[in-house]
A = this chain, B = another copy of it.
C-alpha cells in the first residue's frame, strides 16, 4: 500500500501541522430546519404532560472555523446508518478525526447529527400512543439497532463476523470503542422529504459554497439536496453511498457540479456493496454524458489497498483526508 502516493496535500500544506496547538477563529453549534408539532402522547409519566408542542426534524450542526481559513471551502460532514457525527471525530483507536484534519488543513468544518439521531430530536409520540393504549403495536416506529455481528460485514471488516479481510485497515483492536459509537436508527421512520436533505439544503445556502460530504446511508442526500436546488452547493463527496441517483433519472441537477464518489477496498467481496458501486458507475457514466463532472474513485484502483467501509477511521485515515483535501482543492477550488 503506497502511502507515499497519498502525501501531496500534506506536502503542499507543510505550514499546517497536525501536531501542536490549533488556532480556532470561531466555533460553536446550532440547528437548521425543524417544525413545530403538537402531540397528545408526548409522555406517559406523571411529571410531564401528555399534550404539548415539540420541535422535530431539526439538524444539529457543530462547527469550527480555523484562524487561517482564507478562501478554503467549508466542508459539511454527514454520518451514515446507525451512527452520529461522532463518526468524523477521534477515531476508535484515538487518532485525530477527519473533522480536525480538515480544520487543520484550513477548511471550516461542519459536523451534523442527522434529524432524529444524536443531538437531533427523535419523536416519541408513537411509542407513548401505544404505551397509553391509544394505538396498536403496528403504529410503533421502525427504530432498529445494527448488532455488531451484522455490522461487521456491512462495514466490510471481513466476510462475516470475526473474519477479517487480509490487509484490512480498520483498527479492530479498538472495536469496543467503535461499537460504543452505534446508536438506534430511526431513518425508516422519517417523514418525506427527508429532513436531512432539507437540512443540508438550508445549511449549504447558509454557508454559500460548501462541499457536502456524505457516507453510506446519507450518501444519496447531497445529490437529493442538489436536485432540489443547487444554491450554496459547491461540490459533493459521497463516500460509499447506499445509493447514487438513478442513471436513467433527471441528471440536469448535477451538470457542472464537481462530484466525487469514493470507495474503499473489498467491494467485490460484498453482495451488499458491489451492486451499489456498479450502479454508481452507471450513474457517473450517464451524468457525465449529460455535462456532469462525476468522478468514481475506488481506492485499490489508484493503488491504495485495505480500506473498509469506515475508511475515515481506518489506519490510513489521515492520509485519506489529505488526499480528499487535495481533491477538493483541485476540483472544487477556493471560494470566489
Q: Using CB atoms and an 8 Å cutoff, list the residues of chain A in contact with chain B.
A: 20-25, 27-31, 34, 36, 39, 42-45, 48-49, 51-55, 58, 60, 62, 67, 84-86, 89-90, 94, 96-97, 100, 113, 118-125, 127-128, 130-131, 133, 137-138, 140-150, 176-177, 179-184, 188
Contact = CB atoms under 8 A, between A and B. Distances in A.
Contacts of A177: 30-31
Contacts of A22: 23-24, 27
Nearest to A44: B142
Nearest to A52: B147
A271 to B, nearest CB: 13
Contacts of A43: 144-146
B144 A128 contact: yes
Contacts of A48: 144-147, 150
B127 A119 contact: no
A142 to B, nearest CB: 5
A30 B67 CA distance: 25
Given A86-B119, A119-B86, A147-B42, A180 B142 contact: no
A176 B181 CA distance: 29
- For this chain, the copies found in one complex come to 2
28 contacts: A21-B23, A22-B24, A28-B96, A29-B86, A34-B179, A42-B146, A43-B145, A44-B142, A45-B142, A48-B144, A48-B145, A48-B147, A52-B150, A55-B176, A55-B180, A85-B119, A118-B118, A118-B119, A121-B180, A121-B182, A121-B184, A122-B183, A122-B184, A124-B145, A130-B130, A130-B137, A131-B138, A131-B142
Contacts of A31: 177, 180-181
A131 B124 contact: no
B179 A54 contact: yes
A53 B124 contact: no
Contacts of A67: 21
A182 B54 contact: yes
B119 A84 contact: yes
A97 B58 contact: no
A28 B184 contact: no
